[in-house]
Amino acid sequence: MGKSKMRKSIAGVLVAMMMMVPFAGCAKNAENVPENTTTKETSEQKETPNTDTSKEEGIQVGIVLPTKDEPRWIQDQTRFSSILDEAGFTYQILFSQGSSATEKSNVETLISKGIKVLIICPQDTSAVGAAVQLAKDSGVTVIGYDRLITGTDALDYNVGFNSESVGVAQGQYLIDNAVGTGNPLYLYAGALSDENAFVFFKGAWSVLQPKIADGTFVIKNSNEAIKVQDTLDLTREQMAAILGQVTTDWDFNVAKSKAEAHLTSAAAKDKGNVSILAPNDGTARSIADVFASDKDVTNYVITGQDAEKASIQYVIDGKQSMTVLKDTRTLTDAAVAMSKQILNNEEVVVNSEYDNGAKKVPMNQLPVLTVTKDTVKEYIFDSGYYEASEFTGLK
């Protein structure tokens, strides 16, 4: 449990507000596919750098994920492999390893292997546009995955979670667990190159701002946020200025050193019982460790996102207060269902859309759940997301 005593948590279920708009689009350049196409692993391809899972040439579905270095994306990869194997698709999964150039060459590789569908989670929201255009020009149907892709009309579909509701869940958790007024608030955010980071922050700010304005919280680590603390609806520039100060770049080390710098420059009176908006699990664990080891921090409440295994253990141990479950089973299922519809030239079923600046992108948007000590059994173990036996300290 470390030195911190977590404040009592209030279990919250956040059902995303899904716009249940029936929406149908049709795939272009799709081909009929035999139901049970068998695939064979090629060991040489398995050893190719950045190539995680590969199938023989003439593959149907190409998947590009941002990095192998975060457990989140390994979970997606594992799940994709199992359901695509089950569905009998030929596929290949490549990782961009934090580089838009690698991402583009991954897309080129997949196009050269004849993919009909590209499922891509961008490294950089706007830089990915060139790769998406390339795929489109080659007759490939492109599905954006999890992270929003902006500024290109070459994107066909998106599958993802309601990211604004992720931020709302994080902000609301801090509010529900704050006692009295004057609670020191430390804000952290994701990478500026990821549109999702803006959407998460927007969601969190929408609930936190009124509670900053009424004195419940006092921002301690961002003068850009303090400048606009009376403004509910921030402009893109205002948000970018805040994110520019408190970004973690989705990197554990950046998160750690930023938290260390913040606590080094904060006076003891700016510590005590603190509330911390951490954007995802990896950064939350780094930041939590830093706050837990500061002698002037008596207690902290910290958010997260992704329900990574290590964070579920942190939640059980009382070292991370909550995480947001974005069930990779439902997300990969949705992406594969969409791929199947495209490959079979069927109607593509979506429930929403988002404006990416260049077009309205038909989207399948999924809900999220707030996981705390109180809900971990139901949402994580009973639902079969992880086995309880993989964790320690459960009562």
Q: Which residues bind ligand BGC (CB under 6 A)?
A: 70, 72, 146-147, 190, 194, 196, 250, 280, 305-306, 326
Residue whose CB is less far from ligand BGC, 73 or 89: 73
- Least separation, in Å, of the C-beta of 280 and ligand BGC? 4
The tokens of 191 are what? 């990478």
* C-alpha closest to that of 352 among 15, 18, 17: 18
Residue whose CB is less far from ligand BGC, 73 or 217: 73
* C-alpha closest to that of 70 among 276, 249, 258: 249
- Least separation, in Å, of the C-beta of 241 and ligand BGC? 20
- Least separation, in Å, of the C-beta of 43 and ligand BGC? 29
- Least separation, in Å, of the C-beta of 149 and ligand BGC? 11
Residue whose CB is less far from ligand BGC, 158 or 196: 196
Residue whose CB is less far from ligand BGC, 271 or 326: 326
The tokens of 134 are what? 């390339």
| String of DSSP letters for 308-354 | -HHHHHHHHHTSS--EEE--HHHHHHHHHHHHHHHHTTPEEEESEEE
Backbone angles phi, psi at 326, to 5 degrees: -110, 95
Element (H, E) at 218: strand 217-219
Rounded distance, CA 142 to CA 342, Å?
10
- Least separation, in Å, of the C-beta of 148 and ligand BGC? 8
How far CA 366 is from CA of 18, 210, 258, in Å, comes to 7, 27, 32
Residue whose CB is less far from ligand BGC, 68 or 359: 68
The identity of residue 42, as a single letter, is T
Rounded distance, CA 211 to CA 205, Å?
10
Positive or negative: CA dihedral 297, 301, 302, 306:
positive
- Least separation, in Å, of the C-beta of 175 and ligand BGC? 22
- Least separation, in Å, of the C-beta of 141 and ligand BGC? 22
Residue whose CB is less far from ligand BGC, 121 or 228: 121
Residue whose CB is less far from ligand BGC, 25 or 71: 71
- Least separation, in Å, of the C-beta of 268 and ligand BGC? 32
Residue whose CB is less far from ligand BGC, 144 or 362: 144
How far CA 325 is from CA of 161, 178, 275, 303, 383, in Å, comes to 10, 22, 20, 12, 12
The tokens of 67 are what? 């990095």
- Least separation, in Å, of the C-beta of 89 and ligand BGC? 24
Rounded distance, CA 273 to CA 95, Å?
40
Residue whose CB is less far from ligand BGC, 66 or 362: 66
Contact by Cβ (8 Å): 349, 363? no
Backbone angles phi, psi at 392, to 5 degrees: -115, 160
